[in-house]
Amino acid sequence: MSSTITPYKQRKALFLSTVLFALTFATWTLFSILGIEIKQTLELSDSQFGILVATPVLTGAISRLFLGALTDQIGGRKVFIATLLVTAGSTWCIALVQSYHMYLLVALGVGLAGGTFSIGVAYVSRWYSRDKQGTALGLFGIGVAGSALTSFGAPMLIASYGVAGTAQIYAVTLVTITIIFALIAEDDPTLTERRNKMQKTLMIHQFEPLKRLQVWRFALYYFFVFGGFVALALWLPKYYMGVYGVDIKTAGLLTTLFALPAGIFRAVGGILSDKYGARRIMYLVFAVCVACTFILSYPATTYNVQGIEGEIAFSLSISLPVFVVLMLMLSIFMSFGMAAVFKHIPVYYPNNVGAVGGMVGLIGGLGGFFLPIVFGLSNSIIGVWTSCFMILFVLVSIAFVWMHVTIILLERRQHPSLRGPKFLPELEIQASNKFHEKARS
């Protein structure tokens, strides 16, 4: 296929990748709905249910690293097709198994759906110039809204067709879109060049950039903005019910208000990153998130003050409307942060987008897996509902300080007269280029 880049081919690659990501993201979260029915049928304990729901999340996170590196090696089109077919086959098998352990095994395969993010990042970024990659990847990130398809659609499908029928519908949909993609999608425009390079380069060399501390700094950012977002989306229903005493339907609706805007604002974050620079956006994201998590960390408190005529009692707490607004702010700025982090990667690591993006995505996915567990433990240890926001406050503060100190040191090393940060991303690009030159030599 021709590798000539045209606006039509760019739009086609972006549209197809976004549709694939949305459907695979919907499949990745399928067990959050099917698991409820399976729990009742097999009479699973809460811990067994938790492991079942978390298994696809974990495998999806881990697979991002290897699928991203493989995309760098052989191209996103082939890796997309293979991953979707394996995911579709695993999803179909949900209808065929009946035991808990077999459901866990099938969930491992379904979890590969979560790895398509790193495939798409590497594939889409190849079609766009550096000044447009933030916008393109932000639009691609709209696919995270695919979880809403499962949240709203899967319960209705289960009511009509049961667990087995719902799984089969998902599997057939994945196979159908895979066939369409295989017929009309094209290899990315740099595949031929990469093929020539890979004749002399082992796949393990794609992981060379992981030696750089900068990659792990980006991973920490994503652990907060993506992992924290996923963790809150899972934790908030319980939080709303426990703190504000709402029923499960209201808790689900309020959680949807937090989760649903992510896709749209992730796209906006990509556009803003292209226009103003990803570094400026990350400063804004961390500043707002530090403020929000600090406010949300404060537990409801009752004071007794000795007044002139006796004790005066009053309390400080966050009302439900204020809490919803603060959560919406977190959702918006976390979404901005997701886009800004992945704006950095193709700029600093243009030849290793899959491997670096895969590692960053892996760490972010692990955040979505481990943070809810930590939230539960903190409730037991600290004994207050707001402990989850205390953890997030510490996490984002560490990321913010690390970013700021690194930028100040880097800019002053290159320009001693600077009193910054002056947002000079070219300095980090220069450092990355030196690393790549050293690796090649």
Encode pLDDT of 390-408 as tens digits.
Answer: 999 999 999 999 999 988 8
Euclidean distance between CA atoms 230 and 142, whole angstroms: 15
232/88: higher pLDDT: 88
Nearest to 13 by CA among 80, 68, 67, 63: 80
Nearest to 228 by CA among 395, 101, 60, 67: 395
Choosing among 2.40.320.10, 1.10.10.1200, 3.40.50.150, 1.20.1250.20, the CATH entry for 1-201 is 1.20.1250.20
85: tokens are 């077919």
pLDDT tens readout for residues 278-305 = 888 999 999 999 999 999 998 877 777 7
Euclidean distance between CA atoms 57 and 362, whole angstroms: 10
156: tokens are 């209705």
DSSP 66-94: HHHHHHHHH-HHHHHHHHHHHHHHHHHHT
Euclidean distance between CA atoms 373 and 380, whole angstroms: 11
- Among left, alpha and beta (phi > 0; psi -120 to 50; other), residue 106 is alpha
- Domain boundaries of the chain, sorted by first residue: 1-201, 219-441
DSSP 225-247: IIIHHHHHHHHHHHHHHHHH---
Q: Average of pLDDT values for 71-84?
A: 88
314/19: higher pLDDT: 19
Nearest to 227 by CA among 49, 26, 129, 368: 368
**CATH code assigned to 219-441:** 1.20.1250.20
Q: Do domains 1-201 and 219-441 have the same CATH topology?
A: yes
370/190: higher pLDDT: 370
pLDDT band at 432 (very low <50, low <70, confident <90, very high): very low
Highest mean pLDDT among 312-316, 339-343, 392-396: 392-396
DSSP annotation of 312: E
Q: Average of pLDDT values for 146-154?
A: 76
Residues 6+ apart with CB under 8 A from 369: 54, 57, 58, 61, 227
Q: Average of pLDDT values for 421-427?
A: 52
Cβ atoms within 10 Å of 272's Cβ, excluding its own? 22
**Is residue 437 classed exposed, middle or buried when 0-12, 13-18 and 19+ CB atoms within 10 A define those classes?**
exposed
Give the helix ranges, DSSP H, for 29-145: 31-42, 46-74, 76-93, 100-110, 116-125, 133-140
Beta bridge mates, 200? none
For the chain, the average pLDDT equals: 82
Picking from 252-266, 333-347, 427-441, which range would have the lowest pLDDT averaged per residue?
427-441
Euclidean distance between CA atoms 215 and 218, whole angstroms: 5
Q: Average of pLDDT values for 123-150?
A: 82
Nearest to 327 by CA among 253, 382, 400, 271: 253
DSSP 293-307: HHHHHSPPEEEEEEE
Rounded to two decimals, the pTM is: 0.74
For residues 283, 279, 389 and 335, what is the CA-based torsion angle, rounded to 10 degrees?
120
Residues 393, 297 contacting (CB under 8 angstroms): yes
SS3 316: strand
pLDDT at 70: 85
pLDDT at 19: 93
Residues 6+ apart with CB under 8 A from 278: 134, 340, 341, 343, 344, 347, 425
pLDDT at 422: 55
